[in-house]
Structure 1
Amino acid sequence: MSEFIIEAYRDAAAHTGSRIYPLGRAAKLKSDFARVFSSHLGHLIGGGRFETEGLLVTGPSGTGKTTEIGALIRRFNADNIALPDGSRARFAECVLKGIGTWKDLGKATAHAIGYPVSSKARLTQSEIWDIVVREAKLAGIVGIHFDEAQHIFREKSDADRLAVLDSFKTLMKSHDWPLMLIFSGVPELDGYMKTEPQLYRLLNLIRFSDINIPEDYRTIHEIVGSYALRAGVDVDPDLMTQDFFDRLVAAAASRWGLLIEVTKGAVMVCQDAGTETLIRDNFTDWWVGKTMVSRVATPFTHSDYRTLYRKDDPFMKALDD
């Protein structure tokens, strides 16, 4: 066995890494996606020109947007849905973090659909998007998910933002092959998209909300229990208390994606320790390893954890040591 492999972490990740707890928001995401795609497919069957719709998914960082959308797209691509020309429908994914200009956007999009454009290529904006549409049609790609989409708009002039928005609108209204677009990002993304009304009206809005307590206690209970069960370990009754749930929510900055991340981490610590029961100390140990704070200053141990750990700054203490 390699010195660089910790078997307990490897096995825990293998059992829980791809597991996604079925939160209610996933049902809405799937329903809206299915409705938009079904209409899209109907237009393709009917022939003629049409403009398609898309999704705008927003929520604070760590709410699990990328995970939920990625899982949806993987299931869609695996479904092998037949298109009118006999090809199989697929969705592409493109991360916009670090993308600066419209040309960078065009090249990143082309790369996402499997057609890399040389950095030396001298192409106009129109030519790049023509390539994207042409190659998407040939590959059976019906849509693209643009993740971290707020990054393409930050620190840009109004004119540059409108140029990017116009590019997205062009893809959705293409006469030859309209593309369903999914945009995901932090809440500020909604404000950027609103500045292009013609594009905004084509989007269906989905907001990933924060954890609400006490309403969500039952769901938190089920998440901790399900990940422990998946790993084959028991759950200490102490972890099924309101006090622990409140501390776990504080540790996760009230965000579902982070709560699941913390829970998975604690399960890995438990398995690495070779114990059969998930306990509070496992969460504390994971937190200390993640943040390097003192054990007495974690959300799971500190008496004033609500003040010490705030929603706007995950994993960071509000006060210095």
Structure 2
Amino acid sequence: MGHGGRRMTHAQIAETITVLEGLHYRRDVQTTLRTEFDRRLYGRREEIRQGVVREGRGIALLGASGSGKSTVIEHLLKRHPELVLPDPGRERADVISFRVPSPASLKEVGRTALTALGYDLKRDRSATIIWGIVRELLQKRQTLFLHIDEVQDLKTSQSKQVIQNVINTLKSLMQHPEWPISIILSGMPEVRKMLNFDPQLARRFYPIALRPLSFTGDEEMLRDMVGSYLHKAALPPSSGIYTDEVLMRLLHAGAYEFGIVIEIIIAGIGEALMAGSDCLLLEHFAMAFRRRTGCYDGLNPFLAPDYRDIDPRKLFPEWED
């Protein structure tokens, strides 16, 4: 994949970037997630084998925007060697996954769950009836896990009664007398407020947090991340790219979130390849951030002296009043 000293074509650069975007950098939190998931998977299968019915247990994976929640869950479910995933030609599906729709009413969430289960709701039904059908289909398809993504949207602008209805629905799935379900919730940190709204629900979930990165705790991983992506792109680093100063600027530019940091690493490599450079330089990271946010140099974390005062998530920051 290396350019061997020759400027790469746009097609070759696009191919390289696509390969880099498809890489999966494994994190410690994934070991925890896989362990808790497997406990529920193999435990439930053994209960089924013995004819035992116990209430389902859940996992709550919470992290800020850009922390990599969706990637972590997708990798777990799609790469698990013993999961039967949904397939149009097969009734059994060990896991059903969907994203909370907008508007995020209990009824619309139920309709989305039915779609994920392959059911075509031909006429309008009440939320109670819809969720009754969901329960029947989960049992019919022998589903063990229901994964609901972006769960924070269930809580947004909802009354306490609506939130309680959501909680009661989740509990009813986990407490089904014949076919209890384990639920995986993924979303922003504010989901914990919904879980803590009902202590009975909270005790049924194992919490896993995708915490922000820090230079003190993640310096070694950060160096390895940059090196891994450069190696795959066959692009050497410049002599200063691994300095503490550059890596701290990279962390800040990525809002200290794992997924965003990786996006900037890949974008910086793309800028280096587009420029025909024979190594990755600080200026390539600066160019990548400029394209990402539309900022001028004074608000670019890779160039500004006081970069810690910059909010890296804002677009066109110089236009603010």
Question: TM-score over 0.5 for the alignment?
Answer: yes
Cα separation, 2, equivalents of 1:34 and 1:314:
39
The corresponding residue for 1:24 is: 28
Q: 1:203 to 1:316 in 2, by over 3 A?
A: farther
Structure 2: which amino acid aligns with 1:52?
A: G
| Contact 1:63 1:208 (8 Å CA) reproduced | yes
Counterparts of residues 204-223 of structure 1 (less than 5 Å): 204-223=206-225
Cα distance in 1, alignment partners of residues 314 and 226 from structure 2? 19
Change beyond 3 A, Cα 1:19–1:315: farther
1:141 CA drift (Å): 2.7
Look up the match of 1:38: 42
Aligned match for 2:280, one of 272, 278, 281: 278
Structure 1 residues 151 and 9, CA gap change in structure 2 (3 angstroms): farther
- Per-residue CA shift, 1:221-242, capped at 9, x if unaligned? 0001111111221122211100
Q: Secondary structure at the match of 1:210?
A: coil
Distance (Å, rounded) in 1 between the aligned partners of 2:245 and 2:253: 12
Matches for 1:155-304 after TM superposition, within 5 Å:
155-304=157-306
SS at match of 2:60: strand
Maintained 8 Å contact 2:295/2:315: no
Q: What is the one-letter code of the residue matched to 1:14? A: T
Kindly state the Cα deviation for residue 140 of structure 1 after the two structures are TM-superposed: 3.8
Contact 1:129 1:171 in 2 (8 A): no
CA distance in 2, matches of 1:277, 1:206: 38
Native 8 Å contact 1:92 1:145 kept in 2: yes
**Cα distance in structure 2, aligned partners of 1:26 and 1:114:** 29
TM alignment of 1:2-13, pairs within 5 A: 6-13=10-17
Matched, 1:105 2:92: no
Q: In 2, are the aligned partners of 1:8 and 1:272 still within 8 Å (CA)?
A: no
TM-score, structure 2 as length reference: 0.88
Change (3 A) 1:158 1:32: same
Contact persistence 1:94–1:108 (CA under 8 A): yes
Report the AA paired with residue 199 of structure 1: L
**Number of matched residues?**
309
Aligned mates of 1:80, 1:42 — CA distance in 2: 15
Q: 1:155 deviation in Å? A: 0.7
SS in 2 for 1:127: helix
Cα distance 1:207–1:248, how it changes in 2: closer, same or farther (>3 A)?
Answer: same
Percent identity, aligned pairs only?
24
| Aligned mates of 1:314, 1:56 — CA distance in 2 | 28
Deviation at 1:39, TM superposition (A): 1.4
Mapped contact 2:295–2:316 kept (Cα < 8 A):
no
- Cα distance, 1:94 vs structure 2: 1.1
Q: Does the 8 A contact of 1:251 with 1:315 survive in 2?
A: no
The answer to whether the 8 A contact 1:149-1:184 is kept is yes
- RMSD of aligned residue pairs (Cα, Å): 2.4
Q: Which one-letter code corresponds to 2:130 in the other structure?
A: I
Instruction: Give me the whole-angstrom Cα distance separating, in 1, the residues matched to 2:314 and 2:44.
Output: 39
Hey, what's the Cα distance between the residues in 2 that align with 1:266 and 1:254? 17
Q: Secondary structure at the match of 2:277?
A: coil
Following TM superposition, the consecutive aligned residue runs of length 4 or more in structure 1 with deviations greater than 4 angstroms are 86-89, 313-321
- Corresponding letter in the other structure for 2:165: A
Distance 2:140 2:232 in 1: 41
Shift of 1:88: 5.6
Q: Which runs of 5+ in 1 are unaligned?
A: none
TM superposition shift of 1:316: 7.0
Deviation at 1:315, TM superposition (A): 6.0
Alignment-derived partner of residue 47 in structure 1: 51
Tell me how far apart the structure 1 counterparts of residues 315 and 265 of structure 2 sit (CA, whole Å). Answer: 14
Letter of the aligned partner of 1:259 in structure 2? V
Residue pair 2:61, 2:184 contacting (<8 A) in 1 also: yes
Q: C-alpha deviations, 1:70-110, integer Å up to 9, x for none?
A: 1111113x53469xxx9765322211152321110100111
